[in-house]
Structure 1
């Protein structure tokens, strides 16, 4: 987990060096730049992690046609060599966010977090990852905005600060398999030179 969160942070730092990455850029461009930045950060790293392109995914083995598209799937070389498992070993879902924008906070939950909760992503995973591109305000204001939405819809699976990496949050969610909850790690990433820079 820590390796993935550290790679996200290093990748975002590299991504923000690109002239076209700012709060007005589209989510797809931000994700492409983040993916490239993560690959660059891993180039001289001892971590054996492969950052795959966004890919269609099948939520369950019984699903024949892809029913989702993961933003940033990750493969751990050691896991692949040991198991020959071709599905991603970790999934990162990316969304635009601003704590003051109730629509974006709702989308972060419904079109992001809930894809893991409903097992559309990471059905066999106990851990998933979310990235929030902070368009305005601070990362902590974005986490507060997501929590405000969750409380408004009477959900108790709120975000709490994580002790794994500074500036990250985590949440725990029950899923349809009672014995298989999922813990999501959230990184809210701001843009260099704005009030939304990473904290």
Structure 2
């Protein structure tokens, strides 16, 4: 699914004024002194103008993708532990103030997926990390803010849940 999303993003950007490059998923190192990569980013993005100005080769934005179903507590846990927490810990986008997550909804709806994630967060006493609906585009999206140990600034995550349940049932 991530390859299809990546292809769709590349296709949409062909006629776009945005100067973005959608890179393939890559191994990454969460700390500059690491020799061996300790993670894999699903969809790294690079802004051409930023690259030309700074010669910064690391991705300028990261999209992490996870499977999700609001009624599946295991998938909701994985969305947080293997997705959100990687941004909060600095494993992904340590130098970024903003990150992005996409949930592939395997059953139910995007609203049910966000509710399932919030139910998991409530069970583990992380109410401050709840996903809150936000109107950025004409599509249901959510926002969450997470504290970090280092750097001390929080990370804001934007979440989109793409519904595939009907497609998968066919």
Distance in 1 (CA, whole Å) between partners of 2:92 and 2:119 is: 24
Alpha-carbon distance, 1:163 to partner = 2.4
Matched ranges for 1:120-135 at <5 A: 120-135=91-106
Q: Give the RMSD, CA atoms, in angstroms.
A: 1.6
Greater per-residue strand proportion: 2
| Structure 1 portions without partners, runs of 5+ | 1-29
Task: Name the CA distance, whole Å, in 1 between partners of 2:75 and 2:165.
Answer: 21
Which of 145, 148, 151 is residue 122 of structure 2 equivalent to? 151
> Structure 1 residue 138: deviation in Å?
0.6
**TM-score normalized with structure 1 length:** 0.80
TM-score (norm 2): 0.94
Paired residue for 2:132?
160
Mapped partners of 2:75, 2:107: distance in 1: 11
Instruction: Figure out how many residues of one structure are paired with residues of the other and give that number.
Output: 167
Q: CA deviation at 1:179?
A: 3.2
- Is 1:175 matched up with 2:145? no
Whether contact under 8 Å (2:20, 2:45) holds in the other structure is yes
Structure 1 contact 71–94 (Cα < 8 Å) conserved: yes
Distance 1:98 1:193, change over 3 A: closer
Q: Distance in 2 between matches of 1:193 and 1:184?
A: 27
The one of 111, 125, 128 aligned to 2:82? 111
Change (3 A) 1:195 1:99: farther
Whether contact under 8 Å (1:138, 1:195) holds in the other structure is no
1:59 and 2:30 are equivalent in the alignment: yes
Change over 3 Å in CA distance of 1:139–1:195 after alignment to 2? farther
